[in-house]
Amino acid sequence: MPDRDLKLGILLWSQAATWPEMLDAAKRVDRLGYAHLWTWDHLYAIFGDPYQPIVEGWTALAAWAMATERTRLGLLVGANTFRNPGLVAKTAATLDQISGGRAILGIGGAWMDLEHQAHGIDFGTGFGQRLDWLEESVDAMEAVLAGKSVTSAPGGRYAFNDLRHAPAPIQHRLPIMIGGSGEKKTLRTVARHADLWNAMGPVDLMAHKVDVLREHCAAVGRDISEIEFTLGVKVTIRDTKAEAERVWREAMAHNRTPLSDLEDDDTFWNGSPEELADRLRPYVELGFRTVISEQPAPYDVETLERFIGEVKPLVDAG
């Protein structure tokens, strides 16, 4: 029987936080025994005022690698448009060396046009083109991280010419996380290349996405069980839902985010450990046995402690 125990990760929002706060929270996540520690890959804040303070992701991961001992480290997820994929592969392999083999290469098509416009980064003609770029990018990164030489075919986005890297990652296979659930392109790329897949949404929608992913896996001859399903949520935990809502509202105010901006976002889960465990169980049954909670600054110590200390045991118990 497969391991049905819940695996948990934490993503620390990189906006509206000081570096000492981020570093302290990362150390706490590591001490508490979380499996993964993530941050964003954004140059502008993505909740509320885009011009509020935010730190760069890869730099934060490298610093966290020196300050933590056990937790895996990655971007959820890297913006493929920001950097040449060869550079990303080199950066991920370096992070793996720094961390003693704990790196995950998180990657996605990118979506925030404002930060691209401001920095003069090519945003492409739309999601379709960016997802074509993503497929080409991940194919090359997977190969070069495995020690192969990569030369691009004519007519693509990239122009690699006998691209080879050393040193290799410490891990025999540095895992690739792909975020997103677009049915025609993103899930096809997940089926071809991903070790981990991150998605979010209602249970019925996720059930449909799993079915689509299963079809893509069958088409490329991949066993879907080789892919770790990870669910994205944003939890705040207190004894009562009312108290959790109060703490969450204060956090959103700190992040300069009007609650009206979040009316259609069903990924904020506020409640007691029992309520959150009840919400998670259907996802676990669906195959999402890794749950990654995004935590806004100021990082809520009580939630960090109770998510792994109380919610996880309740879900593991069935």
Residue 92 sits in a domain whose CATH number is 3.20.20.30
3-state helix, strand, coil in the chain (%, to 5): 45, 15, 35
d(CA 49, CA 40): 16
Which element (helix H / strand E) includes 61? helix 57-67
Q: Could you tell me if residue 1 is inside a domain?
A: no
Residue 161, both tokens: 């010419």
Task: Provide the pLDDT for residue 288.
Answer: 97
Q: What letter does residue 150 receive in the DSSP assignment?
A: B
Task: Provide the pLDDT for residue 4.
Answer: 63
Residues in the chain where the model's pLDDT stays below 70: 1-4
Task: Provide the pLDDT for residue 32.
Answer: 98
Task: Provide the pLDDT for residue 1.
Answer: 35
Could you give the 3-state DSSP secondary structure of residue 40?
A: coil
* Domain total of the chain: 1
Task: Provide the pLDDT for residue 5.
Answer: 86
Task: Provide the pLDDT for residue 17.
Answer: 97
The model's pTM is: 0.95
Q: Could you tell me if residue 80 is inside a domain?
A: yes
- Domain boundaries, position 189: 7-316
Could you give the 3-state DSSP secondary structure of residue 86?
A: helix
d(CA 313, CA 47): 31
Total Cβ atoms within 10 A of residue 46:
18
Task: Provide the pLDDT for residue 318.
Answer: 81
CB-based contacts of 83, cutoff 8 Å, min separation 6: 91
Q: Could you tell me if residue 257 is inside a domain?
A: yes
Task: Provide the pLDDT for residue 316.
Answer: 95
Q: What letter does residue 103 receive in the DSSP assignment?
A: B
Strands (E), the chain: 7-12, 36-39, 72-75, 78-79, 105-108, 176-179, 196-199, 228-237, 268-271, 290-295
253 and 298 Cβ atoms separated by less than 8 Å: no
Q: Could you tell me if residue 2 is inside a domain?
A: no
- Which of 177-199 are b and which e, b meaning 16 or more Cβ less than 10 Å from the residue's Cβ? bbbbbbeebbbbbbbbbbbbbbb
Residue 7, both tokens: 């695996």
> Hey, what amino acid is at 247?
V
Could you give the 3-state DSSP secondary structure of residue 134?
A: helix
d(CA 221, CA 129): 25
Could you give the 3-state DSSP secondary structure of residue 170?
A: coil
The CA-based angle 106-92-138, given to 5 degrees, is 55
